[in-house]
Chain A
Amino acid sequence: MAEPTTDTPLIAARGISKSFAGVEVLRDVDLDLQRGEIHALLGENGAGKSTFAKILAGVHRPTRGTVALNGEVVDINSPITAQKLGVTLIHQEPISFPDLTVAENLVLGRTVGAPLARVHWAQMTREARQLMDLLGVRIDVTRPMRGLSIADQQMVEIARALASDSRLIIMDEPTAPLTPKEVDTLFGIARRLRGEGRTIVFISHRLEEVRSLCDRVTIFRDGNRVATDTIANLSDGDIIRLMIGRPLREYMKKHGTTIGEVALKIEHLSKPGLFTDISFDVRKGEIVGLGGLIGAGRTDVARAIFGVAPASSGTITVNGKAVVVTSPSQAIDLGLAFVPEDRAIAGIFRTLPVEQNISAAVPRRIAPGGIIRRKVEKALAAESVRRLRIRLASMRQPIGELSGGNQQKSILARWLLTDPSVLILDEPTRGIDIGVKAEFYDMIGELAASGRAILLISSELPELLALCDRVLVMSEGRLTANIARADASQESIMQAAVPRSTVAA
């Protein structure tokens, strides 16, 4: 390849567009990445930054547009090619091979070596140890990955990226599960790599991190690149405005609601390895937020309450009567509803008609005596579609053909049909576009206003701050804070979210 001159950027992306299932998630993104810079990608969930990163790493291929490396247009058609070109991606959720040792996970997939080349265990282990020492992590590299904490898996992930001497390292929210100490080490290394003239793309939600580490920021919104500038030139206000288009509060108006008696009461709920001694309550008409870092155990608590994965000890009280929930069907009968975090996995029946997706949780209403009454079902579904303004071409088209936002609306519709008294929403606005988000916030408000108790799990601090009457915070499986709306702030929540064990350290 031509000898790169210093002024040609390492990466020059031009007109990158990407659509999934006919839904466009990236639109004509142009972006230059210079050698030896740490470049932050900011934006709300679903703004397209992760998709862009994955395109650079060869995980996705762009629908349109080109990527030039050192001024040469390259086709990054697979992760293998990406590695050959010196591009490494640290995934948001660390991926690993649970049955293989940590050391193996570090070297696996290195593109060097013939298929029958010998694996030098001793040498491999030695190198692995060195890397771990470098990162200041104490992990026995000869143990299998299975059972490592998310944080440790993330560190292995980072170590892997360092081991492969890549020219471009993309870190997709690497710090989410890390302790401040680990974050410092990571940043130290990142700076050193920059010193070596390597380029780092850093994706994060935490502005302070971005400020302390990055040289330049690019902000995505709604699949578009809305701004690229040196960090110094942008105030936090600017950044947030750029991220969400308009200042948050505007449309997140809180409906004045009267808060009634306790609808859901949790006492000393525990499940070994996931969460311990969780106690809180949610009142009628109240929106209680549940914040924390990824892997803090928030979703596990929700799953336990709803009976998907029942807790091993502790009591649950619904509308005043103590219950033992062992299955979702039972939870539904008790008047609970749960909109799960991952729509595709736990929510929709992708290939089935929208109407069947909406009516899924109310068999008795659509099929008294076991025989399905098509008219009743149609009516219910049509009503929901109208009420939640679900936009579709036909009630009978597979829900998979709908946009993320409308899929999520359909799931919400499913639960509203059960007329729940307690509604648990797990990251309800993840990966849906900004306009629909606004609608969701309004709906959640209305639901509370109609006297339902709502438990809102969210990683988006602004969301929690704007919507919730109270914010609970979990960290490493424990409840670490219960903050009233008045005292809730991004800082107070983060403070509680960061693992205790390490604050001392």
Chain B
Amino acid sequence: MTTEPIAPTANALDAAPARPLWQVIFIRPVMLTVLLLILEPIVASVFWPQSLDLQYILSTFTLTAPLALMALVLTLVIIAGEIDLSPASSMALTACVFAAVQQAGVPFPLAVLICVVLGLVLGLFNAFLVVFLRLPSLIATIGTLTFYRGLAQVLAGDNSIKLPEWYMGLNLVTILGIPVPDLIVLVAAILLALLLGATIFGRQVFQIGTNEIAARHAGIRTRSIKTTLFATLGVVSALAGMMFVSQLGTVRYDLGLGGELQMVLMAMLGGTYIFGGRGSILGTFLAGWLLSIMTNAMNTASWLPATQFCLLGVLLIVSIIITNFIYSRTQR
């Protein structure tokens, strides 16, 4: 990683010495997740061995998959220095529309199109509020979070809308014994990781998140990139919705209620820096699995769901604290 000094080695006044390689590799927030991922099975094997069945882990992850999928894109948004709390709501709205139009007799392909376009619109609306009206994304997307789910409720009331029989059971289709939704998340993770790591787009996402003003001065199209990110997240929320309802065969306005916390949690646990500029797809991906596996353990242990609430809340705060701490130490 480190190249041999090009200029005569700098003295204290010119530059601080570079961090040793082992630190660069090991002292990073994602390690918290990795650690937990190693510890959990060990603990579980003692207390809740039933939760460690691989098939069980794979099949239950299909319930987390939609949120994980959105969390992966959300990671990019957060790295770019913004945040979006509305995806879970837009997932519910698009999914309700998806089911409703099909019940109204709209052919499947058209339904998919409508759903995706709607997702795009919802994403662009967030972008409009954040990028063009310059509203703080945290508050603005709290507004759309309430609004989008509200619309879903207006549309569907309290009724659950059924989907066509044949469309059900995506999670029961397996390739090499792995349920399709899990694979979708895996593929998405790989693609996004490449986008973030190997392309100029990903590079500029980091640069915007690190210092937006500097990015703008350097000729980076900050606005269009952020808009792209919000729009993508909107579309992905629609796709996630379609994936989710295929597993349920039905949809109600409360689909993925409160999912925003889990998504933010995945990103934070994965070591994404809440103030932007730092983070990794791998981290979010691992965090997604960690959450799913831990929830399994707690469910098989029949813990009060409340304790799971507490754990999520505490994990969120702890992971941010650790992330901030590590970054504040490794950046001078």
> In their complex, do chains A and B touch, with some C-beta pair under 8 Å?
yes
- Chain B, range 190-205, C-beta contacts under 8 Å to A: 198-201, 203-204
Residue pair A370, B200 in contact (C-beta under 8 Å): yes
Please, which residues of chain B bring their CB within 8 A of the CB of A443?
none
Given A22-B332, A351-B210, A392-B10, verify A331-B219 contact (CB < 8 Å).
Answer: yes
Residue pair B214, A346 in contact (C-beta under 8 Å): yes
Residue pair B18, A396 in contact (C-beta under 8 Å): yes
Residue pair B200, A372 in contact (C-beta under 8 Å): yes
Given A350-B331, A382-B6, verify A308-B15 contact (CB < 8 Å).
Answer: no
Residue pair A395, B3 in contact (C-beta under 8 Å): yes
Please, which residues of chain B bring their CB within 8 A of the CB of A367?
199-200, 203
Please, which residues of chain A bring their CB within 8 A of the CB of B207?
349, 352, 356, 360
Interface residues on B, range: 35 or more
Residue pair B200, A403 in contact (C-beta under 8 Å): no
Partner of A389, one of B5, B7, B16: B7
Tell whether B329 is near chain A: CB-to-CB under 8 Å: no
Residue pair A386, B221 in contact (C-beta under 8 Å): no
Residue pair A361, B219 in contact (C-beta under 8 Å): yes
Partner of A347, one of B9, B214, B221: B214
Given A328-B219, A392-B5, A414-B218, verify A21-B16 contact (CB < 8 Å).
Answer: yes
Partner of B214, one of A24, A349, A406: A349
Tell whether A397 is near chain B: CB-to-CB under 8 Å: yes
CA distance A375 to B21 in the complex (A): 20
Residue pair A396, B14 in contact (C-beta under 8 Å): no
Distance of B331 from chain A, by nearest CB (Å): 5
Interface digits, B262-295 against A, CB 8 Å rule (1 contact, 0 not)?
Answer: 0000000000000001100000000000000000
CA distance A103 to B201 in the complex (A): 49
Partner of B14, one of A371, A385, A402: A402
Residue pair B13, A23 in contact (C-beta under 8 Å): yes
**Which applies to chain B's interface (DSSP): helix, strand, loop or mixed?**
loop
Tell whether A340 is near chain B: CB-to-CB under 8 Å: yes
CA distance A390 to B277 in the complex (A): 25
Please, which residues of chain A bring their CB within 8 A of the CB of B14?
391-392, 402-403, 405-406
Distance of A77 from chain B, by nearest CB (Å): 20
Tell whether B217 is near chain A: CB-to-CB under 8 Å: yes
Tell whether A393 is near chain B: CB-to-CB under 8 Å: yes
CA distance A292 to B14 in the complex (A): 31
Residue pair A401, B210 in contact (C-beta under 8 Å): no
Please, which residues of chain A bring their CB within 8 A of the CB of B211?
345, 348-350
CA distance A349 to B206 in the complex (A): 9
Distance of B4 from chain A, by nearest CB (Å): 8
Residue pair A385, B218 in contact (C-beta under 8 Å): no
CA distance A343 to B220 in the complex (A): 17
Residue pair A24, B218 in contact (C-beta under 8 Å): no
Partner of B200, one of A366, A385, A389, A395: A366
Tell whether A338 is near chain B: CB-to-CB under 8 Å: yes
Interface digits, A253-266 against B, CB 8 Å rule (1 contact, 0 not)?
Answer: 00000000000000
Please, which residues of chain B bring their CB within 8 A of the CB of A340?
217
Distance of A211 from chain B, by nearest CB (Å): 34
Given A391-B10, A403-B14, verify A345-B213 contact (CB < 8 Å).
Answer: yes
Interface digits, A362-402 against B, CB 8 Å rule (1 contact, 0 not)?
Answer: 01001100111000001000100110011111111110111
CA distance A351 to B28 in the complex (A): 14
Tell whether A332 is near chain B: CB-to-CB under 8 Å: yes
- Chain B, range 14-64, C-beta contacts under 8 Å to A: 14-19
Tell whether A489 is near chain B: CB-to-CB under 8 Å: no
Residue pair A370, B199 in contact (C-beta under 8 Å): yes
Pick the 7 closest A-B CB pairs, nearest first.
Answer: A367-B200, A329-B219, A394-B18, A391-B14, A332-B219, A397-B18, A360-B218
Jot down 26 A-B pairs with beta carbons below 8 A, ordered by A: A22-B12, A22-B16, A22-B332, A329-B219, A348-B211, A349-B215, A350-B210, A360-B214, A360-B215, A360-B220, A361-B218, A363-B200, A363-B203, A363-B204, A367-B203, A370-B200, A372-B199, A378-B3, A391-B8, A393-B5, A393-B16, A396-B2, A398-B332, A401-B332, A403-B15, A433-B13
Chain B residues engaging chain A, CB cutoff 8 angstroms: 1-3, 5-10, 12-19, 198-201, 203-204, 206-207, 210-211, 213-221, 277-278, 327, 331-332
Known: A363-B220, A396-B2, A398-B332. 15 other contacts (CB 8 A): A306-B217, A327-B219, A327-B221, A345-B211, A349-B207, A352-B277, A360-B215, A367-B200, A371-B200, A372-B199, A389-B7, A390-B7, A396-B18, A406-B15, A414-B218
